[in-house]
Amino acid sequence: MNLNQVTVPSLNLSRSIPFYEKLGLKLIVKSLPHYARFECPEGEATFSIHQVESLPEGDGIYVYFEHNNLDSYVNELIEKGIEFDELPNDKSWLWREARLRDLDGNRIIIFFGGENRLNPPWRLDKEYEE
Quick: pLDDT tens for 90-125. Answer: 999 999 999 999 999 999 999 999 999 999 999 997
pLDDT tens string 46-86:
999 999 999 988 888 899 999 999 999 999 999 999 999 99
Taking CA atoms, 63 is separated from 21, 47, 87, 102, 121, in Å, by 15, 10, 16, 10, 23
Give residue 62's pLDDT.
Answer: 94
Give residue 69's pLDDT.
Answer: 96
Q: Say which CATH class 5-114 falls into.
A: alpha beta
Beta strands 5-10; 46-51: pairing state: parallel
pLDDT tens string 6-62:
999 999 999 999 999 999 999 999 999 999 999 999 989 999 999 999 998 888 889
